[in-house]
Structure 1
Amino acid sequence: MRILIVEDDRKMALILREALERQMHRVVSASTGPEGLEIARSHPFEAIVLDAMLPGMDGFRVAQNLRESKVATPILMLTARDAKSDVVMGLDSGVDDYLTKPFAFQELFARIRAISRRPPTEAALYFEMADLKLDPRTHAASRGGRTLSLTRTEFLILEFMMKHPASVLRREEIINAVWGYEETVENNTLDVFMKQLRTKVDDGASEKLIHTVRGFGYRLSAVAC
């Protein structure tokens, strides 16, 4: 499982990372609210462990911004505050579960397993642009009513692009989102997959949706660059 830890206490972040890695999870860390928000928006994770009190933007606002951005990754909030009002605030902001410090690691592991099994919210389950449709629940994609036969990697690339419609996505952003935040992938590997994806999505269509932005990366848009 790929897990993002957003925790400004370096000692706590290291303890969490080591504990989760011993459970064979892949862990990425962020130490501020804005950094955690950017990474969570740009890269796929199965769970986010989010501290409530963070510099730059607190965990409640991070969670709220993620949900407003249609990011449905399950969130477990960690906090030293256990007031009922804080619990309500966290749940209202889009957090899936709430764990008060100090805690036992076995409880942490159990709660992460539990939230990762829950289905994501409906808002993030379906994407559409022009006549291109993608359903992550069934891994189905179609264009103009024509079923697209996509490989797993092609599907992940298209899903990431549809999460950021009309945005210019840097090559490294796409690589990190699809192959992993800490993986090394050659640029020409991405080019090969983008060529295959463009053939499947745009060939035969009067309106091209996948555009190359020279010197930067790619963009999914119904309007040509």
Structure 2
Amino acid sequence: MENTAPLIAVVEDEDHLAQGLIFNLQAEGYRTHHEADGDAALAYLLDPDEPVAAVVLDCMLPGADGFTIVRSLREAGRFTPVLMLTARSRPEDILEGIEAGADDYLPKPFELSILLVRLKSLLRRTAWQSAASPAAEQAAPPDEYSFNHRTIRFDALELVAPNRITHLTVMEADLLRHLTQHAGQIVSRKDILEQVWRVHEDTDTRAIDNFIVRLRRYIEDDPAHPQHLITVRGVGYRFLPNP
């Protein structure tokens, strides 16, 4: 009988860690594919033999690094969920991974149980996107937010605008949800780090600003002159649904 279990790509060059992940993922019922080189991993993920359900991706690899891999996948229109593994001492790795398009992150060293929970969460969200039935949609109100002829569909990880649908990463959707839930209020960079991305560092980083630039391309009529996502100099940002 054909094995139809989800296929997880493990991209990790530390052999002992990779083999441990593979063993435990297979014990949980997943199928696995392993790559230890970044260039080989990118080539495989852009043209896999069969659909990959999710990627567990180390940020530091020989060849292309994890940031390059996830950025290249998103630019190619591949939105496979990516759980990025980062060095504990480098919060900037976490932010760069988020900016590149990773869906979630986990600092090394990590508890295996936490990795499995995070992975299941990403797979569950993907299943909700692809398998939601009309009956289920009628049973519960849609998880969405509308403004200025745009609708953020949090459950489907999409932003629907006139003549365009933009796919969102989990991190992008989580940030947009946080901003819309605090519409009209100033949201500090520190709040984004701690409440949205769970980076408990008292750090003011330009990576957040670069991330906001990308979100403005999604939601603004003129991203160079934003009306909805406003910078509050020296503090953070304010979302205005009706400027």
Q: TM-score, normalised by structure 2?
A: 0.48
Corresponding residue to 1:71 among 46, 69, 78: 78
Query: Which residue does 1:216 correspond to in 2?
Result: none
* Contact 2:59/2:93 (<8 A) preserved: no
Partner amino acid, structure 2, of 1:77: M
Query: Which residue does 2:110 correspond to in 1?
Result: 103
Corresponding residue to 2:39 among 12, 34, 40: 34
- Does residue 8 of structure 2 align to residue 17 of structure 1? no
Query: Which residue does 1:153 correspond to in 2?
Result: none
- Does residue 108 of structure 2 align to residue 88 of structure 1? no
CA distance in 1, matches of 2:89, 2:123: 23
CA distance in 2, matches of 1:51, 1:85: 14
CA distance in 2, matches of 1:82, 1:121: 30
* SS of equivalent to 2:13: coil
- The Cα shift of 1:20 comes to 0.3
Query: Which residue does 2:12 correspond to in 1?
Result: 7
Partner amino acid, structure 2, of 1:87: I
* SS of equivalent to 1:95: coil
Query: Which residue does 2:175 correspond to in 1?
Result: none
CA distance in 1, matches of 2:35, 2:121: 23
- Does residue 48 of structure 2 align to residue 48 of structure 1? no
Gaps of 5+ in 1: 124-225
- The Cα shift of 1:122 comes to 4.6
Q: How many residues align?
A: 123
Gaps of 5+ in 2: 1-5, 130-155, 160-243
- The Cα shift of 1:84 comes to 2.8
Query: Which residue does 1:136 correspond to in 2?
Result: none
Partner amino acid, structure 1, of 2:35: A
CA distance in 1, matches of 2:30, 2:104: 19
Partner amino acid, structure 2, of 1:25: Y
CA distance in 2, matches of 1:24, 1:102: 23
CA distance in 2, matches of 1:110, 1:82: 23
* Contact 2:39/2:64 (<8 A) preserved: yes
Partner amino acid, structure 1, of 2:19: L
CA distance in 2, matches of 1:60, 1:12: 19
* SS of equivalent to 2:122: helix
Equivalence map 1:60-209=2 (5 Å): 60-118=67-125, 119=129, 122=158
**Stretch deviating more after TM superposition (101-110 or 81-90):** 81-90
- The Cα shift of 1:81 comes to 3.7
Alignment identity in percent?
A: 39
Deviation track 1:49-78 (CA, whole Å, cap 9, x = no partner) reads 000000011100100001001111000001
- The Cα shift of 1:97 comes to 0.5
